[in-house]
Amino acid sequence: MISKRLILSILLCFTISALSAQKLKYFQGTFEEAKAAAKKQRKLIYVMVDWGNNTEPNSPLPLDDELLKKYHSGFICIYKNATAKAGLNDLYQKYNISTYPTHLYLDAEGSLLLKTVGFRTNKEPYLTETAKAIQLSKEKTLTKYQQEYEKGSRNEQFLKNYLLKYDELDIPVNQEVLEAYANTLPVNKLDDFETISFLIQRAPALSSMAYKITRVYPKLTDSVYKSLPSAKRGIINNRIIRSSLAIAKSRKDEKLALETAAFTQNTWSNNWQRGMTARTYNMMEYYLAVKDTTKYLSNASSYYQQYYLMLRDSLHRQEGQMTLGNLPNQASQKTRPMIPQEPVIVKSDPKADSARIVTQVTMVTKVVAPSMGISNIAPKSQNTRAMEYAMTLNNGAWTMYTMKAKIPAYLSQAVIWVYRSIELFPENPAFHDTLAHLLYQQQKYTEALTYQEKAVVLARAEAKNIAELMARSTNKPALSPDHGQKAIEMYTAELEKMRSKTL
């Protein structure tokens, strides 16, 4: 996967209380070293996954002496930020992370005991969580199940209980364990409603024996799906897609990727266009992951040209508000489950790296946006959907640039995509920066300089506006002192390279 320079357009809601003078001491070292320290000190592990590129979280805990002592005495504390590269994709997949901040309580082996999301301004929920995690560590954990499994335990009831443990923790099952369970089933259970329902609800990968068993009797499979709530069906389909695509990428199995894309398309049986959008997106993701540049560029061109630019007339401004027609999500299911029950807080933060992928981060108390183009997305404001549309086009254009597309037609298309993003959000510095780089690659140096200079001006204005908002706010988020400055420095450095033609 291409490394990312996250240039984030700020949509701030100042609802987070000021950082306490006391700070949690976060472990400095690798995750493996943290596990070793936890074993040696007989502690558990606490991981905060938050948004930003700071060494301290943007969503600090409301610490006092009692809470500080609780964490320091019982846990090795780790902070991970969502813009860091190292190991985070595995972290998201393993622990099903899609919301910030996410709080993970793990045993010393790294197995999940408890997962919570969101930021609370009082300490009581955190005291409750730490106590619960300690209690859960004394029960039968995933680690204990794993140890028994590695010793050869394979009886049907043990494997079933092992799989149910993943459900308790709201994380995808271990597909190897699910396959082992499927292999224990006698023939007379293949047409048993409860057995097939259990397999389906574990979301087996398309390449697995477990999945094939659920398709032996199609009418029975349909009956199981119809018996489940629509939200549950959406979650199952999303997990099948995620696990199958992950396996396809790891094996470089194009056939499985195509099967996964077709499965995704079929979940849109009531909307052919959106189904094709989802199918194309998944194949685009696959080819990007396996570094098949030719097929990626072909799919990306089709995806953005056919499914995004065709929406020009559906997206417009009315009385200062952004409105949408039938704007498709990148992919989805028949339903939109998991609507957040509390107000959404959107945060963002710039990070200098080697690409520009514009991102908005949603903090809620329930999972709302799984990755890889498949989603259980809560209803959004029209303006947020418009920004998602603009970001998607910008990200596609930037990927074209980073992949050094040589075919002039692809570069010209990418320029059109980011022009559209700028039309919608003319004060977004990241969009101007992307356009400048594409123009530079087309050897249109004068135009490139114009847009890069504009990116610098807009970044400075944005940083100034944020500083003024923070100064007026009584409840200030814990943003780094140099918030916004890194973006300015990065745009300025790129401007100098363009001027000297050394980019």
pLDDT of residue 22: 65
φ, ψ at 336 (rounded to 5°): -120, 80
Residue type, 213: I
Domain ranges of the chain: 1-139+338-366, 145-267
Residue that the structure tokens 């009385």 belong to: 319
81 three-class SS = strand
pLDDT along the chain (503 residues), means of 10: 38 35 82 94 94 68 88 94 56 79 93 91 92 94 94 95 93 94 94 96 96 95 93 92 94 97 90 88 93 92 82 49 40 27 28 34 27 32 74 90 84 93 92 96 95 95 81 56 75 95 93
> Distance between CA atoms of 121 and 309, rounded to whole angstroms?
43
pLDDT at 328: 40
Q: Where are the beta strands (DSSP E) in 343-447?
A: 345-347, 361-363
Q: What is the largest CA-CA distance in the chain?
A: 74
| CA 133 to chain centroid | 25
Contact 284, 257 (CB under 8 A): no
Structure tokens belonging to residue 320: 């200062």
Q: How far apart are CA 420 and CA 390, in angstroms?
A: 7
How much is the pLDDT for 335? 26
The answer for 426, left when phi > 0, alpha when psi is -120 to 50, beta otherwise, is alpha
Q: How far is CA 21 from the centre of its chain?
A: 31
Mode of pairing for the β-strands spanning 75-81 and 102-106: unpaired
Question: Cα(105)–Cα(112) distance, rounded to whole angstroms?
Answer: 6
Q: Which CATH class is domain 1-139+338-366?
A: alpha beta
The predicted model scores a pTM of 0.72
φ, ψ dihedrals at 324, nearest 5°:
-130, 150
What is the DSSP track for 207-261? Answer: TSHHHHHHTSSHHHHHHHHHHS-HHHHHHHHHHHHHHHHHHHHHHT-HHHHHHHH
Tokens of 490: 């990065």
Residue 453, CA distances (Å) to 201, 223, 390, 430 in order: 53, 60, 21, 12
CA 428 to chain centre: 22
